[in-house]
Structure 1
Amino acid sequence: MRVEVLGGVERRRRWSRDDKMRIIEETLAPGAVVTEIARRHGISTSLVFTWRRRARLASVVSA
């Protein structure tokens, strides 16, 4: 049995509002696959859906 210990501390990446909106817009394009877009940007699919939900709620509140 082999056990591998990963060293170091992985820091959270901070995404600007513009970066988030750009990624969200990518996911809204016809034929877009959220999983592929998330993988390309190095983020989880669930994070992309969280950003989309928050953006949708923010637009409803401001309308």
Structure 2
Amino acid sequence: MHNDVVTDVSYGEFVMRGEILGVERRRRWSDEEKLAIVTSVGIDVATVTRVAQHHDVTRQQIYGWRYELKRKGLW
């Protein structure tokens, strides 16, 4: 259960209104999970965009993981 919080922030004559629905947590991915996601690009013509959407990550994360895994010698 979470509490809804509504905030108003005023900047001169503009008012920004935002709603906080809950606490987001950072997900942690093991090197094995990252490798599985990165290597799934290209299988059955899967694009980086399609793989990212399927795993609910950004394209930039996949490219970053690819770079990181290459640097570690895992890919």
Shorter-chain TM-score: which interval? 0.7 to 0.9
Equivalences, count: 58
Q: What's the C-alpha RMSD, in Å, of the aligned pairs?
A: 2.0
Map of 2:47 onto structure 1 = 33
Map of 1:18 onto structure 2 = 32
Map of 1:49 onto structure 2 = 63
Query: What TM-score, normalized to structure 2?
Result: 0.64
More helix by share: 1
Does the 8 A contact of 2:49 with 2:59 survive in 1?
yes
CA distance in 1, matches of 2:55, 2:70: 21
CA distance in 2, matches of 1:50, 1:33: 16
Query: What TM-score, normalized to structure 1?
Result: 0.75
Fraction of identical pairs, as percent: 31
Higher-Rg member (1/2): 2
Amino acid at match of 2:22: G
Structure 1 residue 28: Cα displacement = 4.8
More strand by share: 2
Unaligned runs of 5+ in 1: none
Structure 1 residue 58: Cα displacement = 1.9
Task: Report which stretch shifted further, 44-53 or 29-38.
Answer: 29-38
